[in-house]
Chains A and B, each alone.
Chain A
Amino acid sequence: DSGVTQTPKHLITATGQRVTLRCSPRSGDLSVYWYQQSLDQGLQFLIQYYNGEERAKGNILERFSAQQFPDLHSELNLSSLELGDSALYFCASSVGTGSSYEQYFGPGTRLTVT
């Protein structure tokens, strides 16, 4: 158990819909990262927040947005869903953004768009 929690574990929804994925980082971690992993694909970095502020953006679509709240939990919002958005979405956290800080991953949310 990494200490990072994600809800829900599974989500099935239809094309065109909007969903929200939630992540609570490990106690004391200020940085939160969101990743997308499609079937048999590598991790695609979406976005990073550090202490409530957006820190870095990866390959995140305009239909996707995220935020980190004052209690440090984070939400990833996916809208106008398409079949290709079906994937595992991981949240990770780290203490800070320095070079040696490893990321701890949550169990993921499996999104299925039908």
Chain B
Amino acid sequence: GQNIDQPTEMTATEGAIVQINCTYQTSGFNGLFWYQQHAGEAPTFLSYNVLDGLEEKGRFSSFLSRSKGYSYLLLKELQMKDSASYLCAVRDSNYQLIWGAGTKLIIKP
């Protein structure tokens, strides 16, 4: 079957760095997405990786290793507004998005 694993919850301190991991087992691979979702709100797109390596976008970076079925989202200089759930999603061989359950990130002052 298809599976995406992320930690359920993580806690970090304002100003620090946090890495949220995502491992996947899917039928085929056509890209990996990270989304941010604040409680009760719609998910918003953060990043897209299809080739191995690191993609940097301001305070957020996303890394992909296709051979290991692994990705991480790195958030630097954490701010209180970064408290949210972070969703990992993989596009499979049928171009369907398979979603992880999300990681709830709690930022403490």
Binding site for B on A (CB under 8 A): 2, 33, 41-43, 45, 48, 56, 58, 88, 90, 97-100, 102-108
Complex partner residue of B43 from A41, A43, A45, A98, CB under 8 angstroms: A43
Question: Are A99 and B101 touching (Cβ within 8 A)?
Answer: no
Instruction: Report whether over half of chain A's contact residues are helix, strand or loop; otherwise say mixed.
Output: loop
Residue numbers in B under 8 Å from A108 (CB-CB): 41-42
Q: How many A-B residue pairs have CB under 8 A?
A: 47
Question: Are B102 and A105 touching (Cβ within 8 A)?
Answer: no
Question: Are A98 and B100 touching (Cβ within 8 A)?
Answer: no
Question: Nearest Cβ distance between residue A74 and chain B, in whole angstroms?
Answer: 16
> Does B12 have its Cβ within 8 Å of any Cβ on chain A?
no
Complex partner residue of B45 from A42, A56, A104, CB under 8 angstroms: A104
Question: Are B95 and A98 touching (Cβ within 8 A)?
Answer: yes
> Does B109 have its Cβ within 8 Å of any Cβ on chain A?
no
**Across the two chains, which residue of chain B brings its CB closest to A102?**
B45
A90–B96 alpha-carbon span in the complex (Å): 17
Residue numbers in B under 8 Å from A43 (CB-CB): 43, 87, 99, 102
